[in-house]
Amino acid sequence: MTARLIGHGAAGLPDHVDVLVIGLGITGTGVALDTTTRGLTTLAVDAHDLAYGTSRWSSKLVHGGLRYLANGQIGVAHESAFERGILMEVTAPHLTHAMPMLVPLMSSVSPVAGGLTRAGLVAGDLLRRSARTSRETLPGPRRVSATETLRIAPGLRPEGLRGGLLSWDGQLEDDARLVANVARTAAAYGAHVRTRARVMTATGTDVELRDELTGETRTITAKAVINATGVWAGELVDEITLRPSRGTHLVLRSGTFPDLRATVAAPVPGSTSRFVLVMPQPDKTIYVGLTDEPVEGEIPDVPTPSEAEIGFLLDVVSAAFTRSLRRSDVVGAFAGLRPLIDAGDGSTADISRKHAVLTSRTGVITIVGGKLTTYRRMAQDAVDCAVATAGLDAGPCVTATRPLLGAAPRDQLARLEHPERLVRRFGTDAALVLDNARAVSGLGDDELLAPVSDDIPVTLAELIFGVTHEGAVDVDDLLDRRTRIGLVAADREVALPLARRALDLTRRVAH
């Protein structure tokens, strides 16, 4: 199949494809990569942009499944650990890294609770081994002294601190970047990937597609239609009713807790099993999360955190650290929606752990729930269902062994001599990002690689690549999804002129 670039709108698309995928979050892009690499002609569309929905509002963790083990869900836990290993060692080592996680043994954590947590971490390490993920990728857990606990997290309250439990899980460089990378890989294998193309109605064999740039509509037929619209799945398939629950994170500057070397699990006072995570990010910020609030009424395009959630997170963190956080420490806040499926009898089933593949009366296959970590397996299950239901002539699933564009073994990535930030976000494609920016702009590396500011490490080179290779159409795509500057409103203002410049430079080339 011919390699393509990510496009927008509905012009120039074929009238018929083997598989039409609705939604370009991690699930839909994962499905598009799966179908294309099985030799099926594929069109994957999003009403807005890549990673417009929940996929950009996650905690950015590559979960090993420990929490599912605690609930006795051994199959789900193993699947999570297995997929974590594939992401970290085969498909996306460039976008993932080992994240140290510290549970401080404070006076609010009883010795019994501490012992149970330690046993859980040992079980988590067994999961890692059963998934054949190496110790080099994820070191084993260990108990650390109070002195070492304070060295790893200097801001913690020292009173009553008995030490800490240090373990390792996976962390994504950026969730939306993973989506953009999967989408670009699917397009490189030949998928038609289009943003600004909204599906108005869908059956198992056709969709009415509206070009959001021109307002024109057209019908496209397919042998199979896969609905990967996340919490919006019920808007296209009326048999599905989702009742979402909101999870909120705060964004702090890294200077709020200087020298924080690990994610800290701050215990929720009064609970033995709930924690709020304080997670240092690679871009000079710290995320604090998570809440769990039921959402009533219409599903918003962009969910908004409530002041009550923000207050709760600030209180829990302030109880664990010597610095008492204020509202003014919060430089950004974001929320995502977990899909809960309405069981029809007034109760809901949580599919945020285990995904579901559902076939509607008209034959639309919906894939919903799950996690970023397990997107590959979710895509495989949805496509297996499509192949069986529609009798598609498809090859076997190969995504477990096909690295994404830019992926390479960690030792090879470490030896690359390109700018460190570009390697972290594009892997071996860092050279392509820079060469492309030079060719498009005619500018020197000083200008192309200069960070926006001390607090904003984003460069013009990556913004230009966002337009030329990742389908970005406007400043929102660049600031809110190809990069994550938009998570901090004040930074967004500062970076706006550079995003406009990237668009101007690329337009000049296009005309």
Ligand X SMILES: Cc1cc2nc3c(=O)[nH]c(=O)nc-3n(C[C@H](O)[C@H](O)[C@H](O)COP(=O)(O)OP(=O)(O)OC[C@H]3O[C@@H](n4cnc5c(N)ncnc54)[C@H](O)[C@@H]3O)c2cc1C
The residues of the shown chain that bind ligand X, judged by CB under 6 A, are: 22-28, 45-48, 52-55, 57-61, 63, 198-199, 228-232, 236, 247, 290, 336-338, 370-373
Q: Which of 77, 434 has the CB closer to ligand X? A: 77
3-state secondary structure of 3: coil
For residue 189, the 8-state DSSP code is T
Min dist CB 235 to ligand X, Å, is 6
For 213, other C-beta atoms within 10 Å of its C-beta total: 14
**Strand, coil or helix: what is 442?**
coil
Which residues pair with residue 168 across a beta bridge?
Answer: 100
In whole angstroms, the minimum distance from the beta carbon of 170 to ligand X comes to 9
Residue nearer to ligand X on the CB measure, 236 or 394: 236
Q: Between 18 and 49, whose beta carbon lies closer to ligand X?
A: 49
Helix (H, G, I), strand (E, B), or coil: what is residue 306?
coil
CB-based burial label for 248 (10 Å; 0-12, 13-18, 19+): buried
Q: Nearest approach, Cβ of 53 to ligand X (angstroms)? A: 2
Count the neighbouring beta carbons within 10 Å of the beta carbon of residue 200. Answer: 11
Q: How far is the CB of 63 from ligand X (least distance, A)?
A: 5
Q: Which tokens sit at 322?
A: 């010597």
Torsion of CA 89, 90, 94, 96, to 10 degrees: -50
Minimal distance in Å, beta carbon 349 to ligand X? 15
State in angstroms the smallest separation of the CB of 199 from ligand X: 4
Closest distance to ligand X from the beta carbon of 488 (Å): 18
- Alpha carbon distance 336, 463 (integer Å): 25
Residue 281 DSSP SS3: coil
What's the full length of the chain, in residues?
511
Alpha-carbon gap, residue 335 to 56, rounded angstroms: 9
Residue 41 carries which side chain, given as an amino acid letter?
A: T
Least distance between ligand X and beta carbon 219 (Å): 14
Choice between 102 and 172, CB closer to ligand X: 172
C-alpha distances in Å from residue 159, one per residue of 30, 183, 268, 400: 47, 49, 17, 47
Beta strand pairing call for 365-368 and 217-227? parallel
The DSSP letter of residue 88 is: I
What's the closest the beta carbon of residue 393 comes to ligand X, in angstroms?
27
| Residue closer to ligand X, measured from CB, 56 or 424 | 56
- Residue 352 or residue 506: which is nearer to ligand X going by CB? 352
Looking at the Cβ atoms of 136 and 292, the one nearer to ligand X is 292
Question: Is the CB of 25 or the CB of 403 nearer to ligand X?
Answer: 25
Q: Which is nearer to ligand X, 223 or 371 (CB)?
A: 371
3-state secondary structure at position 96: strand
Supply the minimum distance, in Å, between the C-beta of residue 28 and ligand X: 5
First to last CA, the chain: 28
Report the residue number, 63 or 418, with the smaller CB distance to ligand X: 63
Q: Which is nearer to ligand X, 24 or 278 (CB)?
A: 24
Q: How far is the CB of 23 from ligand X (least distance, A)?
A: 3
What whole-number distance in Å separates Cα of residue 373 and Cα of residue 66? Answer: 13
Closest CA to 4 of 139, 191, 146: 191
Phi-psi label, residue 321: left if phi above 0, alpha if psi -120 to 50, beta otherwise: beta
- What DSSP string describes 360-399? -TT-PEEEE---STTHHHHHHHHHHHHHHHHT-------T
